[in-house]
Amino acid sequence: MLVSTILLLFALKPLYTVADTTAKELNGTPVTVDVDAGNTAAPVETSTKEIDKRLFYKIKDVAYECATKNKINVADCLEMFDSLADLRQPKYHQCKCWIPCVARELNLMKDDDYDFEAIRGLIDQLETKPWRNEASRIFELCTDEGGTDCEGGFNILTCMMDHSDKAIKTAKHLLTAVKDDMN
């Protein structure tokens, strides 16, 4: 979702793995899921830092609250990541507006504008270095996308999707986790 999504998504990839580690077991041993490949890996210890874990759960909870409050069809939002999806379809507008809801709740917006200083500060707090670096890279590429509120967040999300397969995969995992919580 938005520039906060840039930050959120790169905080999320390693954290989603941590969430799976607590939820899945193989013969009583916690396992991790290789989010990039979508496969269950051999039991491993995760190197995700504690602050990143807390951030993941906070983002997931806020995304869930925004989806519930705004009656967002998460399945439609997941479709947006299909390369054949026509993002101009009206059913995707709700997804575009989910972005600023999450950003506002995370204090990453001032009025209808994205607070890039706050977003940068949050990125800098990420403790998992590869994800902090990827979030910073995407942040630099996509902050000029412009716009406010729903369209601004969507423009940034589109830029992010154009420049990072990891961001796309991570966004799908976040949306899937929110969808699962809603069921």
Q: Is residue 136 part of a domain?
A: yes
- Determine phi and psi for 114, rounding to 5 degrees: -75, 135
Q: Is residue 120 part of a domain?
A: yes
Question: Looking at residue 144, which CATH number applies to its domain?
Answer: 1.10.238.20
Q: Is residue 43 part of a domain?
A: no
Give the number of domains in the chain. Answer: 1
Q: Is residue 105 part of a domain?
A: yes
Q: Is residue 25 part of a domain?
A: no
Terminal Cα distance for the chain, rounded: 21
Lowest pLDDT segment from 40-49, 59-68, 87-96, 169-178: 40-49
Residue 150 makes CB contacts below 8 A (sequence gap 6+) with: 93, 96, 97, 99, 100
Q: Is residue 38 part of a domain?
A: no
The pLDDT tens digits for 23-76 are 333 334 443 433 444 433 333 334 567 777 888 788 889 999 999 999 999 999
Q: Is the pLDDT of residue 169 over 90?
A: no
Domain containing residue 91: 3-11+48-182
The pLDDT tens digits for 58-67 are 888 999 999 9
Please name the residue that has the structure tokens 């995969």: 169
Q: Is residue 20 part of a domain?
A: no
Please name the residue that has the structure tokens 């051999």: 42
